[in-house]
Amino acid sequence: MKHIDIANILQDKTLLGSKVTVCGWVRTARDSAAVAFLEVTDGSSFSRLQVVVDKSKFELDPECTKCGASIAATGVVVKAFKGEGAELNAESVTLLGKCPGDYPIQKKRTTLEFLRTIPHLRLRTNTFSAVFRVRSVAAQAIHRFFHENRFYYVHTPLITASDCEGAGEMFRVTTQPWNAKYESEAAYYKDDFFGQKAGLSVSGQLEGEVAAMAFGKIYTFGPSFRAENSNTTRHLAEFWHVEPEIVFAELPEVMELAEAMIKYVVRAVLEECPDEMDFFEKFVEPGLKEKLANIVESKFAVLEYTEAIELLKKADENFQFPVEWGCDLQTEHERYLTEKVFKKPVFVTNYPKEIKSFYMKQNADGKTVAATDLLVPGIGEIIGGSEREADPDKLLAAMQARGMDIAAYRQYLDLRKFGTAPHGGFGLGFDRFVMYVTGMENIRDVVLFPRTVNNIM
Ligand code: ATP
Ligand code: MN
């Protein structure tokens, strides 16, 4: 169908006076005997186009005034009666698809909980159109950032045999019938599709390191899967993961990269989504725009894990989980540090080795590893990263101490055997980042079809 985007009409002043056709869905309509005003959206812009129908000129099908109906309207672009923009003086309006009165997306605001029960229709609300434009703009900006900085974009496998970190969190991939009876686990998997146990990847990092050790700077941007049994507002079973890996780099460069990337993408969202950000500011998180403007301007805080523990112990708060050196930080601790103490993003660095992964670079103190988490107000952790252990002997010792199956990691150990080099990287939870820049409080409201425990609608 020949038509133009509503965004063009609203933005391009040279279209004033020309005759155009637009297509879209009616969001609201005011209808009187002489004139009808249809507010139409086609997804190309957050603002809607007002289509004005002078009923003396042609007969308007009353179905075209129903909320949710899809229509095509042809007419002349004129200056809006009110304000700066443009509107359309219709010469004809055609009904493309009618929308009956039981359409659940009506004008009055409903709750996000209710909208989660209709994931196939909720995207038609203002809230979701704003969330998903920001999500799309942010994803493009991530690719731009890495491309401009000469990173290779690599695609790591989603099906994997290594269950590093995945213990208990890994979804199994199998073609075995449900009633198969085998005498041992090994015999069972031997008969399976890959001839061994396989699962969905919880992270592309290990394969990302393989690529980085050839190309220097790489990133992945794809889904990761975790059978998280925790029913929180920050965890999905299927989430989108951005994982850069850089060689000839130590922890400080990994942190620099994370900060530069976050700032780049926040700036892109502020510049490219002004209407959406106004909406979030007004209806979702007052102060959001200033918060994000500050992110771009100010330096992120950096805090040693050991200092973090001291701050938490001194805190005048009733934490549910007690704090001692050696404990993992819970969300309540993370949020206290970033919201109450620093009031901005904070990198926590050098965690105890016992609570972090085998591949993290062991510090000289013998107690900590060169890891960092980036904590942000409202959420807690959005990035987890580290320098990797590049010394083959130390890496092997860490794996043995954890009782890992060394044979399964031969490739990974080879990276340290053949031309090892200091390197590191991080994982950004993209969905959590979208929460952060939109102010949305539940991760289920920033993905099309959230997959969580007991829910695969
Ligand atoms: P958390 O402690 O919050 O469960 P994690 O430490 O297990 O996270 P990492 O393994 O460090 O997470 O993964 C890197 C990033 O991926 C996290 O900082 C987070 O932003 C994101 N992430 C991890 N698990 C999930 C999940 N289940 N749903 C959404 N995002 C996730
Ligand atoms: Mn982490």
- Is 64 in the same domain as 132? no
- Is 87 in the same domain as 189? no
Give, for ligand 1, the residue of 163, 221, 234 to mutate: max count of ligand atoms closer than 8 Å to Cβ: 234
pLDDT-based confidence at residue 152 (cuts at 50, 70, 90):
very high
pLDDT top residue among 83 and 336: 336
68 assigned to some structural domain: yes
User: pLDDT, tens digit, for every residue of 243-275?
Assistant: 999 999 999 999 999 999 999 999 999 999 999
Q: Are 80 and 50 in contact (CB under 8 A)?
A: yes
User: pLDDT, tens digit, for every residue of 53-92?
Assistant: 999 999 999 999 999 999 999 999 999 988 888 999 999 9
Q: Are 183 and 191 in contact (CB under 8 A)?
A: no
Residues near ion ligand 2 (CB < 5 Å) are 384
Q: Which pTM was predicted?
A: 0.96
CA of 383 to the centre of ligand 2 (A): 7
DSSP 139-199: HHHHHHHHHHTT-EE----SEES--TTTTTTPPB-----TT---SSHHHHHHTSTTSS--E
220 assigned to some structural domain: yes
- Is 225 in the same domain as 325? yes
- Is 97 in the same domain as 130? no
User: pLDDT, tens digit, for every residue of 213-223?
Assistant: 999 999 999 99
Contact 444 CB / ligand 1 (< 6 Å): no
pLDDT-based confidence at residue 417 (cuts at 50, 70, 90):
very high
Contact 383 CB / ligand 1 (< 6 Å): yes
Q: Could you identify the atom of ligand 1 that is nearest to the CA of residue 202?
A: 10
User: Domain total for the chain?
Assistant: 2
Average pLDDT of the chain is: 95
- Is 385 in the same domain as 275? yes
Q: What is the CATH number of the domain that holds 20?
A: 2.40.50.140
**What is the per-residue pLDDT for 166?**
56
CA of 416 to the centre of ligand 2 (A): 24
Q: Tell me which residue has its CA closest to atom 7 in ligand 1.
A: 384
Q: Tell me which residue has its CA closest to atom 26 in ligand 1.
A: 235
Q: What is the CATH number of the domain that holds 384?
A: 3.30.930.10
114 assigned to some structural domain: no
Strand-pairing partners, residue 385, are 372, 426
Dist CA 101 CA 96 (whole Å): 16
CA of 140 to the centre of ligand 2 (A): 24
CA of 358 to the centre of ligand 1 (A): 17
Residues with Cβ within 8 Å of 6's Cβ and at least 6 positions away in sequence, in order, are: 22, 24, 40, 41, 42, 44, 45, 48, 49
Please give the share of the chain, as a percent, with pLDDT higher than 90: 90
208 assigned to some structural domain: yes
Q: Could you identify the atom of ligand 1 that is nearest to the CA of residue 237?
A: 27
Choose the weakest-confidence range: 6-10, 180-184, 321-325: 180-184
Q: Tell me which residue has its CA closest to atom 16 in ligand 1.
A: 429
59 assigned to some structural domain: yes
Among 50, 75, 103, which residue terminates a domain? 103
454 assigned to some structural domain: no
248 assigned to some structural domain: yes
- Is 95 in the same domain as 131? no
Q: Are 247 and 208 in contact (CB under 8 A)?
A: no
CA of 386 to the centre of ligand 2 (A): 10
- Is 171 in the same domain as 263? yes
Mean pLDDT for 390-403 is 96
- Is 423 in the same domain as 326? yes
CA of 428 to the centre of ligand 2 (A): 9
213 assigned to some structural domain: yes
**What is the per-residue pLDDT for 165?**
56
**Domain of 316?**
122-445
Give, for ligand 1, the residue of 432, 435, 437 to mutate: max count of ligand atoms closer than 8 Å to Cβ: 432
Please give the share of the chain, as a percent, with pLDDT higher than 70: 98
Classified as helix, coil or strand, 250 is coil
- Is 154 in the same domain as 69? no
Among 69, 103, 137, which residue terminates a domain? 103
- Is 45 in the same domain as 157? no
- Is 274 in the same domain as 147? yes
- Is 218 in the same domain as 326? yes
Q: Does residue 167 carry a pLDDT above 70?
A: no
**What is the per-residue pLDDT for 164?**
58
